[in-house]
């Protein structure tokens, strides 16, 4: 049984707390392993507060932010702690189910050489698989990509459902879920664009124009942004 302190009990922190409880770890403030699970924009302040009010010597301190790497942990590292950035690549919704989904997920790792073993052991305790990030990786793009495939996909499905309700009523959510699942399955390859269908892939300008005419001005702006992105990807593939 290990002692672990988790700072921040939002969705991620709650799921990790449950994972450690299931492993019979002792969750306490005196723990030598400390996990920061606070929002990205609160992380720097939380780390600064911790480094000035705690003895960091011989501690192993982790944050689970996707956009931040090791640099944000430097105050704690300078105070004698081993540090790592461990980012679970999944959506967190409900702790009771997330703790099981974590076992099927990947966790990216940035860690100093001395902390790598402890980071690997922590990820193994969560039941997840670890991927070590190259130090040169632009974490902003890394985190954006994950946001696109999770948060933005969720937003698109919600909008599609909203547009379909007048036509399909109570069946709209099921239809959206089925089509999204099939699209994800078809795109789950090294070349996702190879599975692209629809008016943009076909160059069907008339259909796209009719889509536009059915929308409010605000909705047209949202759709236009999506079209620009999709058309750029299609053009890049054609020119490759």
User: How far is it, in rounded angstroms, from Cα 59 to Cα 82?
Assistant: 6
pLDDT digits (tens, 9 = 90+) for 119-166: 999 999 999 999 999 999 999 999 999 999 999 999 999 999 999 999
* pLDDT tens digit sequence for 22-72: 999 999 999 999 999 999 999 999 999 999 999 999 999 999 999 999 999
- Rounded Cα distance between 194 and 183, Å, is 11
Question: Could you report the per-residue pLDDT of 191-240, keeping only the tens digit for each?
Answer: 888 888 899 999 999 999 999 999 999 999 999 999 999 999 888 888 76
Q: State residue 153's pLDDT score.
A: 92
pTM here is 0.88
The whole-number pLDDT of residue 69 equals 96
Assign 6 to helix, strand or coil.
Answer: strand
Which positions ≥6 away from 142 have C-beta within 8 Å?
Answer: 66, 108, 133
Question: What sections of 54-104 are H helices per DSSP?
Answer: 74-78, 95-101
pLDDT digits (tens, 9 = 90+) for 73-121: 999 999 999 999 999 999 999 999 999 999 999 999 999 888 999 999 9
d(Cα 171, Cα 165) in Å, to the nearest integer? 8
- Residue 190: pLDDT above 90? no
pLDDT of 1 strictly over 80: no
């Amino acid at each position: 049984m290990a002692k672990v302190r988790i700072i921040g009990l939002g969705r991620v922190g709650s799921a990790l707390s449950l994972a450690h409880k299931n492993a019979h770890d002792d969750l306490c403030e005196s723990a030598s392993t400390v996990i920061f699970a606070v929002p990205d924009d609160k992380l720097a302040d939380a780390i600064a507060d911790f480094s000035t009010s705690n003895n960091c010597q011989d501690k192993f301190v982790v944050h689970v932010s996707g956009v931040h790497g090791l640099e944000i942990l430097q105050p704690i590292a300078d105070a004698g702690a081993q540090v790592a950035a461990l980012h679970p690549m999944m959506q967190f919704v409900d702790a009771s189910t997330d703790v099981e989904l974590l076992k099927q997920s990947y966790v990216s790792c940035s860690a100093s050489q001395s902390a790598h073993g402890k980071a690997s052991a922590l990820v193994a305790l969560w039941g997840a698989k670890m991927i070590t990030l190259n130090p040169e990786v632009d974490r902003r793009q890394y985190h954006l990509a994950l946001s696109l495939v999770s948060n933005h996909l969720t937003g698109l499905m919600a909008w599609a459902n909203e547009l379909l309700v007048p036509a399909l009523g109570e069946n709209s959510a099921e239809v959206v879920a089925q089509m999204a699942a099939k699209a994800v399955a078809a795109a789950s390859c090294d070349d996702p664009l190879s599975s692209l269908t629809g008016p943009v892939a076909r160059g069907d300008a008339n259909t796209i124009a009719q889509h536009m005419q059915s929308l409010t001005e605000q909705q047209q702006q949202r759709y236009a942004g999506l079209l620009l992105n999709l058309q750029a990807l299609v053009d890049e593939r054609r020119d490759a």
